[in-house]
Amino acid sequence: MSIRVEYSPIEGRGLFATRHLRAGTVVELAPVLLIPPEQVELVDETVVRWYVFDWDGESHAVVLGKASMCNHDEEPNVELVLDDGDQGPVAELTVTRSVRRGQELLLDYGPDHPL
């Protein structure tokens, strides 16, 4: 395993590298729960809203697994690629620049995210 959840000074919990990770390394294929367009506003009224990503401009997705523990940074070192996948929707968490062992993995949530 190359990632783990632990205490983060940024926001309580975060995702950290357990070994050196090179750019291009996929650290997780996380399952995704799709939220239909008519339910997005309902989700915005819950704590789950902090874990919702735009899927296709209409639907949204909750990323499950450890990928959901990434904290936000405008200069990220990972990216989340949402894909329909062969066996259902998944989110691929990929390192975009070299990450040292013990370094926090950070994701840019984008301009429309509530954080």
Terminal CA-to-CA distance of the chain, rounded, Å?
29
With 60 as the cut, is the pLDDT of residue 67 above it?
Answer: yes
What is the CATH T-level fold of the domain 3-106, as seen in this structure? Beta-clip-like (2.170.270)
Mean pLDDT in residue range 84-108: 92
The pLDDT of residue 112 is 57
Percent of the chain predicted with pLDDT > 70: 96
| Distance in angstroms (rounded) separating the CA atoms of residues 45 and 66 | 23
The pLDDT of residue 111 is 64
Mean pLDDT in residue range 43-59: 81
115 falls in which pLDDT band (50, 70, 90)? very low
